[in-house]
Amino acid sequence: MKKGMTRREWINRSATLFGGSLLGAVTGVKSINAATINSLSNKPVRMMLNENPYGPSQIARRAMRKAFGESNLYSMRGAKAEFKELMAKLNGVTPAHIAVGFGSGEILKKSALMNGIDKGELLSPSLTFETINRYAKTMKSNVKRIPMKNDIGIDLNRMNENINRRTKMIYLCNPNNPTGMLMNTDDLESFCLQVSSKAILFVDEAYHEYVTDPNYRSMIDLVKSGKNVIVSRTASKVHGLAGLRVGFAISTPQIVKRLESYLTDSLNIVGLRAAIASYQDKRFQTHSVDMNNKAKKVVADYLDTKGIQYLDSQTNFMFIKTDIDISDFQPAMEKYGVLVGRPFPPFTNWCRLSMAKPEQMQKFNDGFGKVLS
Ligand SMILES: Cc1ncc(COP(=O)(O)O)c(C=O)c1O
């Protein structure tokens, strides 16, 4: 302690210096000052990657801090087994039905790899999440894109008509990204039942936890009855753990075994412990979904007053027909402190808007109002 300083002054000064140098170590900023604090609080709001603005939960954070102490050990094998047990229990299957990936992105890519090794063609809607399509092309597979229906829904009849001898995998994202829309569950189920003897059905349920439609059912029941179906889920969305990369597949033990032989096993103990804690934290999940619904309402109410079209979203994002080219809309909104989603051609006068906290959504409404005027 410096001479002439009270104990309180010394503690405050040390805390400032320590905080400043810690922040410096993390961000590269030499010292913290008012301008820095200001610029941090004026950061544009992220409404572009379908993240959870509340994550990770306090319980997940505690589990992560505890996991730091395990980081010198190869303890992720045990944690992976624990995670599988938990996912099996929560979904009414056995651990042999679960494959854990480095995010569900890895599950998508390794499924495309499997399809490529089998020299299969992939069938996929023309407007959907692109990871599996891109990776299938990397694997030199033909990817047949099926146009959307007039309401921008997935056209299952047309998908059915386009199945041929070479089709070995069909990708369906439910709810779909970027539309946020669900397929009719009965239609989807009968489609899967009809075609799963000809090809593997990959049903991407990344946004499963956000769905509020009472008629929705996961396709996990088809896995339970032994059908050729892969359902993927992720800890990146409602659990708010996108940066930790934990996702998983639920499929038949045969498909899981094959998928696992391709996975890179790049899981880490902090991510796994966080996911194990978060999937048991029902309060956080409910809170995230409630806040997401409130955020969507803030935007929907505004769009309704303006007569602007948007789709019925069962996810944490909305697809909005702004009637402004997204290449103009994106930078214009950034000027008003809002980062919106990328272009989804050919829907270039639409914008995919991810939900932030309800109180932040006014910033989008205000910015949009200014862009419109
Ligand atoms: C439909 C869909 N599937 C999968 C993913 C990949 O998520 P992750 O790899 O983080 O699990 C995303 C991410 O945005 C997505 O929107």
pLDDT band at 3 (very low <50, low <70, confident <90, very high): very low
Please report the pLDDT score of residue 35 as a whole number: 52
Identify whether the C-beta of residue 169 lies closer than 8 Å to the C-beta of residue 111: yes
State the chain's mean pLDDT as an integer.
Answer: 91
Q: What is the CATH number of domain 283-372?
A: 3.90.1150.10
| Interatomic CA distance for residues 84 and 223, integer angstroms | 16
Q: Is the pLDDT score of 1 beyond 50?
A: no
Compute the distance from residue 30 Cα to the ligand 1 centre, in Å.
35
With a 6 Å cutoff on the Cβ, whether 175 touches ligand 1 is no
Please report the pLDDT score of residue 7 as a whole number: 47
With a 6 Å cutoff on the Cβ, whether 234 touches ligand 1 is yes
| Interatomic CA distance for residues 284 and 295, integer angstroms | 16
For ligand 1, atom 2: residue with the closest CA: 206
Q: What is the mean pLDDT of residues 34-52?
A: 76
- E strand segments, 266-369: 317-321, 338-340, 350-354
Q: Global pTM?
A: 0.89
pLDDT band at 42 (very low <50, low <70, confident <90, very high): confident
Compute the distance from residue 104 Cα to the ligand 1 centre, in Å.
6
Our mutation pick for probing the ligand 1 site, out of 236, 278, 313, counting the most ligand atoms within 8 A of Cβ, is: 236
With a 6 Å cutoff on the Cβ, whether 52 touches ligand 1 is no
Write the CA distances from 346 to 28, 73, 147, 319, 329, integer angstroms: 40, 49, 11, 13, 15
Please report the pLDDT score of residue 322 as a whole number: 98
| Each residue's pLDDT tens digit, 46-59 | 999 999 999 999 99
pLDDT band at 32 (very low <50, low <70, confident <90, very high): very low
Please report the pLDDT score of residue 34 as a whole number: 53
With a 6 Å cutoff on the Cβ, whether 204 touches ligand 1 is yes
Q: How many other C-beta atoms can be found within 10 angstroms of the C-beta atom of residue 135?
A: 21
Identify whether the C-beta of residue 293 lies closer than 8 Å to the C-beta of residue 238: no
| Interatomic CA distance for residues 32 and 24, integer angstroms | 8
Q: Is the pLDDT score of 41 beyond 70?
A: no
With a 6 Å cutoff on the Cβ, whether 206 touches ligand 1 is yes
Neighbouring-strand partners of residue 143: 122
With a 6 Å cutoff on the Cβ, whether 288 touches ligand 1 is no
Joined tokens for residue 367 = 């910015």
Identify whether the C-beta of residue 222 lies closer than 8 Å to the C-beta of residue 254: no
| Interatomic CA distance for residues 285 and 297, integer angstroms | 18
With a 6 Å cutoff on the Cβ, whether 240 touches ligand 1 is no
Joined tokens for residue 181 = 């829309």
Q: What is the mean pLDDT of residues 117-141?
A: 98
Closest approach atom of ligand 1 to CA 108: 4
| Length of the chain measured in residues | 373
| Each residue's pLDDT tens digit, 154-184 | 999 999 999 999 999 999 999 999 999 999 9
With a 6 Å cutoff on the Cβ, whether 103 touches ligand 1 is yes
Q: Is the pLDDT score of 193 beyond 50?
A: yes
With a 6 Å cutoff on the Cβ, whether 205 touches ligand 1 is no
Share of the chain above pLDDT 90, in %: 88
Joined tokens for residue 236 = 């990146």
With a 6 Å cutoff on the Cβ, whether 173 touches ligand 1 is yes
Which of 32-41, 198-207, 317-326, 342-351 shows the lowest mean pLDDT across its residues?
32-41
The DSSP code for 97 is G
Range 58-281 has CATH code 3.40.640.10: yes
Query: What's the distance, Cα to Cα, between the start and end of the chain in Å?
Result: 59
Our mutation pick for probing the ligand 1 site, out of 49, 234, 239, counting the most ligand atoms within 8 A of Cβ, is: 234
Please report the pLDDT score of residue 22 as a whole number: 36
Q: How many other C-beta atoms can be found within 10 angstroms of the C-beta atom of residue 330?
A: 18
Which of 29-33, 69-73, 262-266 shows the lowest mean pLDDT across its residues?
29-33
Share of the chain above pLDDT 70, in %: 89
Element (H, E) at 100: strand 98-101
Compute the distance from residue 206 Cα to the ligand 1 centre, in Å.
6
